[in-house]
């Protein structure tokens, strides 16, 4: 979550800095509008790339958690079967004693 906030802060800072730099630069209005549109396109592409990387990272994390959960479930099922067998053995021993 902290990385997301940092990333959004950096992107926002870049956007504000670029916009202010363009607005205060001495140029014709049409040139300024073109620069703003170009910077907007660049920011859009950077945001898409960052979002794609973040999505891929989250997907890998989810897959890892899923694999770990499946392993834990398999271990738990095995342990339950072992304990059930132990319980059945104890019942058999108890019956033979009584």
Cβ–Cβ under 8 Å, residues 17 and 45: no
DSSP 2-51: HHHHHHHHHHHHHHHHHHHHHHHS---HHHHHHHHHHHHHHHHHHHHHHH
Instruction: Please count the structural domains in the chain.
Output: 1
Note the pTM of the prediction, 2 decimals. Answer: 0.49
**pLDDT-based confidence at 66, cuts 50/70/90?**
very high
- pLDDT tens, position by position, 26-58: 767 787 778 778 888 888 888 888 888 889 999
Question: Can you give the residue range of the structural domain that contains 89?
Answer: 2-97
């Amino acid at each position: 979550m902290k990385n997301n906030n940092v990333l959004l802060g950096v992107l926002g800072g870049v956007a504000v800095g670029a916009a202010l730099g363009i607005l205060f630069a001495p140029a014709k209005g049409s040139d300024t509008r073109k620069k703003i549109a170009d910077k907007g396109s660049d920011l859009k592409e950077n945001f898409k790339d960052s979002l794609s990387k973040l999505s891929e990272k989250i997907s890998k994390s989810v897959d890892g958690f899923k694999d770990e959960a499946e392993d834990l479930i398999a271990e738990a099922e095995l342990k339950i079967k072992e304990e059930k067998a132990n319980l059945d053995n104890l019942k058999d021993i108890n019956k033979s004693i009584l």
